[in-house]
Amino acid sequence: MKSWSKFALTATALTLLTIETASAAGCLKGAVVGGVAGHYAGHHAVLGAVGGCVVGRHMAKKHAEAQAAQHKEAQPQ
């Protein structure tokens, strides 16, 4: 079973490194991280994935708003 855990951890790390954007920015990364965390926190992978998607989407939205505000400040009027 340990080899399966090592494989899952490696696959998760590679997935996180290669994910750039999705239609719901932040959701995919958050779902992967939340699913893994939920699995290890008591076999609640689906619940963790849903929560991770919500949190990831919220963080991506905040990041996009901050970038837009910074870009707007940089524009001379």
The two structure tokens encoding residue 74: 């940089």
- Residue-wise DSSP of 24-67: STTHHHHHHHHHHHHHHTTS-HHHHHHHHHHHHHHHHHHHHHHH
Contact 34, 53 (CB under 8 A): yes
57: number of Cβ within 10 Å: 19
Residues 6+ apart with CB under 8 A from 25: 57, 60, 61, 64
Global pTM value: 0.60
Domain residue extents for the chain? 2-74
Flag the least confident range among 7-11, 23-27, 54-58, 64-68.
23-27
Which tens digit of pLDDT belongs to each residue from 27-60?
Answer: 888 888 888 998 888 888 888 888 988 898 889 8
